[in-house]
Amino acid sequence: MTGRTRTAAPTRPGTARRRGTPPAAVNALKPLGLLLVLGWCLFPFLWMAMTSLRTGSVALTDPNILQGPFDLDNYRQIIGQGFHFALRNSLIVASVTTVVCVPVASLAGYALARLPLAGKFVILAVTLVATLFPPVALVNPLYQMYLELNQWTGINLLNTYTGMVIPYVALTLPLSIFILATFFSGIPKEIEESAKVDGATPFQAFLRVVAPLAAPGVGAAAILTFVYATNEFLLAFSFAPNDLNVQTVPVFVGTFERVGYENPIGQIMAASVLVSIPLIVFALLLQRRIVAGLTSGAVKG
């Protein structure tokens, strides 16, 4: 059908008919459509921010978010309970995961995109399958492995940053490798060849010529890895459940317990606001890179 339309079009010019609504009405609707999308994305944040500022008994019974009194009490309380430690822990765990994962993945991505390897197709397919790994299958065996390690060597990984970073790196490697292989294979091979003609070794060609050109791909992989590590809940909850020295934000917020009979809604919203602000700034600043990373491989053909 598509083919027929395409070939038929040039032979029948001038028979264009207008259908549906007139263009003026459509044009007026377009901004409304965008407003709908914006509203969809942002309304929970409005509610969250307003709720975090409300205090007193009214805040616990009245859904009207414009009903005061307003103050920063919830924020003071959540900091009093050590939420800033959770923010710090999340930042450390996500940064270390990214710093370990991306260079290692770059090597593999480059090898898969460029170097002569037997069985490359199979390796790429395995990498793609590995991106689907369900974390729940890691919880118990890895926990047991940590216990064994502790028994044999005295190294303790439970309730440590390392204990979380290790599985995060393993789970983010496949997607990073895949993204980077896609980016590396998009760099013209001639650039690299000419470097080698000029006397560079394969490793120098990779380090000096190809790696800088792949910077956008490296950035995209780094961002996706970072976001994965800030988002992960199940493994962090299993390996570092309640020690404030290592507990990450998703665990702090996701398992927030009410103290006594008071509903902690205000404090939870305050914590949510505090973690959302830096992440939203992060998303807005790095928008282009994120989109490039998310869509690499998705829109080929």
Partner 1 sequence: MTTTTNVRMRQGLGERAMGWVFLTPSFAFMAVIALFPVLYAIGISLYRIRGFRREPVGLDNYLRVLSDSGFYNAVGNTLVFTVTSVALEFAIGMAFALIMHQAFVGRGLTRAVILVPWVIPTAVAAQVWRYMFDRNPGFVNAVLGTDINWLRDPTWTMVAIISADVWKTAPFVALLLLAGLQTIPKDYYEAAKVDGAGAVQRFSHITLPLLRPAIVVALLFRTVDALRMFDFAYVFAGYSNSVATLSVYAQRFLVADPKPGYANALSTVTFVVVMLVGLAFISRMGRHMVGDVARKERR
Instruction: Supply the minimum distance, in Å, between the C-beta of residue 58 and partner 1.
Output: 9
Kindly state whether residue 259 participates in binding partner 1, applying the rule CB under 8 A.
Answer: no
Name the residue among 282, 262, 279 with its Cα closest to residue 73.
262
- Select from 22, 23, 25, 63 the one that contacts partner 1 (CB under 8 A): 63
**Of 72-80, 155-163, 213-221, 274-282, which part binds partner 1 (CB under 8 A)?**
274-282
Q: Is 95:227 a contact under the CB 8 Å cutoff?
A: no
* CA 10/CA 270 separation, integer angstroms: 61
Which amino acid would we find at residue 255?
Answer: T
Instruction: Supply the minimum distance, in Å, between the C-beta of residue 219 and partner 1.
Output: 15
Q: Would you state the torsion angle of the CA atoms of residues 272, 276, 278, 281, taken in this order, to the nearest 10 degrees?
A: -160
Instruction: Supply the minimum distance, in Å, between the C-beta of residue 189 and partner 1.
Output: 7
Binding to partner 1 in span 164-183, by CB under 8 A: 166-167, 169-171, 173-174, 177, 181-182
Q: How many residues bind partner 1 (CB under 8 A)?
A: 122
- Select from 68, 155, 156, 189 the one that contacts partner 1 (CB under 8 A): 189
With respect to partner 1, which residue has the nearer C-beta, 117 or 215?
Answer: 117
- Select from 199, 212, 257, 260 the one that contacts partner 1 (CB under 8 A): 199
Q: Per-residue x/- mask for partner 1, residues 6 to 35, rule CB under 8 A?
A: x-xxx-xx-xxx-xx---------xx-xx-
- ∠ CA 54-268-240, rounded to 5°: 165
* CA 47/CA 42 separation, integer angstroms: 9
**Of 69-77, 106-114, 155-163, 209-217, which part binds partner 1 (CB under 8 A)?**
106-114
With respect to partner 1, which residue has the nearer C-beta, 72 or 291?
Answer: 291
Q: Is 124:182 a contact under the CB 8 Å cutoff?
A: no
* CA 247/CA 160 separation, integer angstroms: 9
**Of 71-79, 152-160, 211-219, 225-233, which part binds partner 1 (CB under 8 A)?**
225-233
Kindly state whether residue 110 participates in binding partner 1, applying the rule CB under 8 A.
Answer: yes
Q: Is 142:96 a contact under the CB 8 Å cutoff?
A: no
Q: Is 157:235 a contact under the CB 8 Å cutoff?
A: no
Kindly state whether residue 260 participates in binding partner 1, applying the rule CB under 8 A.
Answer: no
Would you tell me how many other CB atoms lie within 10 Å of the CB of residue 178?
22
Kindly state whether residue 66 participates in binding partner 1, applying the rule CB under 8 A.
Answer: no
- Select from 28, 47, 198, 207 the one that contacts partner 1 (CB under 8 A): 47
Kindly state whether residue 194 participates in binding partner 1, applying the rule CB under 8 A.
Answer: no
Kindly state whether residue 191 participates in binding partner 1, applying the rule CB under 8 A.
Answer: no
Contacts of residues 126-130 at CB distance under 8 Å and 24 or more positions apart, as own/partner, are: 127/174, 127/177, 127/178, 127/181, 128/174, 128/178, 130/173, 130/174
Kindly state whether residue 136 participates in binding partner 1, applying the rule CB under 8 A.
Answer: yes
* CA 47/CA 276 separation, integer angstroms: 13
With respect to partner 1, which residue has the nearer C-beta, 156 or 263?
Answer: 263
